[in-house]
Amino acid sequence: MNAPLLVFFVLATMAVLGALNLILQRHPIHSALSLIVVMVALAGLYLLMGAEFVAAVQIIVYGGAIMVLFVFVIMLLNAGVEEHTNASKLAGIAGVPLAVALMGFLAAAVARSTDTVQAAAQTGAVAPTKALANLLFQGFVYPFELTSFLILVAILGAIVLAQREKA
Amino acid sequence: MVPTHYYLILSAVLFGLGVVAFVFKRNIITIFMSIELMLNAVNLAFVAFSQALNKLDGQVFVLFVIVVAAAEAAVGLGIIILIARNRQSLNVERVDLLKL
């Protein structure tokens, strides 16, 4: 087994175990920490694929900013262990086979469709961050500018939602 | 060199686990985290296709998805704080205003 494949399997196992732990843990703070493990493993996979900038953004924005926001809200609301009712057990009985079926169909469809991808793939070095920047600020400059409006609206929405009503 | 379909199958598995978490969990914060897990699985598929086709468009889309996820987290957590303040609970089964 060659080294990239070994690294892939280690990181993939980390990601899947982290995702499973997210489901199995009852306390939201443990789920949040498991999700951070998944995100770090995915950043490693991006590095393996030669997408260095995406890996850095994954660590900084996802692992850093978004997950800190989650942990902050969990601490702020003093979230405890989640409670289960009969309805949620019923959802588990019905949901698990359906979710496993979805996973199987997705994986099968993906595994079958990759023949065309392999045929279209070219050999060659993966383009570095500079090429990504050129593409982002030339080809995708209009959508990129639009995302700034999206973030502005999100900031306004968060402020409006979180402020206390005037007495 | 890792074959592309390995990444895609891992992406499908992570997405499926995100769906399971979405169905299973009763805590609204954990449900929100499972949405983030599904977005991450989609990002992995984007980067895998970007590498397989030797084009960078997929990586640009990942950046846009991350921006949308950050905006979603800001608004969503605001809504969660509001729900927790009004209902004194984070259980989604207590949020049943639209139920008959």
Q: Supply the CATH number for residue B84's domain.
A: 1.10.287.3510
What residues pair up with B27 in beta bridges, in sequence order? B91
- Residue B5 burial (C-beta neighbours within 10 Å; 0-12, 13-18, 19+): buried
- Are B26 and A22 a contacting pair at CB < 8 A? no
Question: A98 in a domain, yes or no?
Answer: no
Task: Give pLDDT tens digits for B62-84.
Answer: 999 999 999 999 999 888 888 88
Helices (H), chain B: 4-24, 28-53, 57-87
How many other C-beta atoms are found inside a 10 Å radius of the C-beta of residue A46?
25
Confidence label for A19 from pLDDT (cuts 50, 70 and 90):
very high
pLDDT of res. B20: 86
pLDDT of res. A80: 76
- Are A62 and B66 a contacting pair at CB < 8 A? yes
Q: Does B18 touch chain A (CB under 8 A)?
A: yes
Question: A110 in a domain, yes or no?
Answer: no
Ramachandran bin of A166, using left for φ above 0, alpha for ψ from -120 to 50, beta for the remaining angles: beta
Question: Nearest 5°: phi and psi at B91?
Answer: -80, 125
More confident residue, A14 or B86: A14
pLDDT of res. A15: 94
Q: Give chain A's mean pLDDT.
A: 84
Confidence label for B27 from pLDDT (cuts 50, 70 and 90):
confident
Question: B67 in a domain, yes or no?
Answer: yes
Task: Give pLDDT tens digits for A120-153.
Answer: 555 555 557 888 888 889 889 999 999 999 999 9
Q: What CATH number should be reported for the domain holding residue A44?
A: 1.20.120.1200
**Number of structural domains chain A divides into:** 2
Domain with A63, as residue range(s), is 1-82
Question: A30 in a domain, yes or no?
Answer: yes
Question: B69 in a domain, yes or no?
Answer: yes
Which residue in the set A23, A28, A147 is minimally distant from B67, CB to CB? Answer: A147
Domain with B53, as residue range(s), is 4-93
pLDDT over threshold 60, residue A32 = yes
Confidence label for A84 from pLDDT (cuts 50, 70 and 90):
low
* Nearest alpha carbon to residue B75 among A78, A72, A57, A152: A152
Chain A: closest CA distance from residue B12 (Å): 5
How many other C-beta atoms are found inside a 10 Å radius of the C-beta of residue A102?
15
B-chain residue closest to A43, CA distance: B44
**Number of structural domains chain B divides into:** 1
Whether residue A70 sits in one domain with residue A11: yes
Question: B100 in a domain, yes or no?
Answer: no
Helices (H), A25-85: 28-48, 52-57, 67-77
Separation of alpha carbons B32 and B29, rounded Å: 5
Whether residue A4 sits in one domain with residue A65: yes
Q: Give chain B's mean pLDDT.
A: 88
Separation of alpha carbons A41 and A62, rounded Å: 12
- Are B23 and A99 a contacting pair at CB < 8 A? yes
Cβ proximity of B61 and A135 under 8 Å: no
Q: Does A137 touch chain B (CB under 8 A)?
A: no
Whether residue A77 sits in one domain with residue A131: no
Whether residue A69 sits in one domain with residue A1: yes
**Mean pLDDT lowest for which of A105-114, A116-125, B33-42?**
A116-125
Residues 60-89 on B with a CB inside 8 Å of A are 60, 62-64, 66-75, 77-82, 84
Chain B: closest CA distance from residue A151 (Å): 6
Mean pLDDT, to the nearest integer, of B52-70? Answer: 90
**Mean pLDDT lowest for which of A11-20, A29-38, A48-57, A114-123?**
A114-123
Last residue of a domain, one of A29, A58, A82: A82
More confident residue, B98 or A40: A40
Per CB-CB distance under 8 Å, the chain A contacts of B54 are 121-122, 124, 126-127
Question: A49 in a domain, yes or no?
Answer: yes
Structure tokens at A109: 């469809």
Question: A106 in a domain, yes or no?
Answer: no
pLDDT of res. A8: 93
Look up tokens 């049943």; give the residue.
Answer: B96
Residues 39-68 on A with a CB inside 8 Å of B are 39, 42, 45-46, 48-51, 53-54, 57-58, 61-62, 65-66
Whether residue A129 sits in one domain with residue A69: no
Confidence label for A18 from pLDDT (cuts 50, 70 and 90):
very high
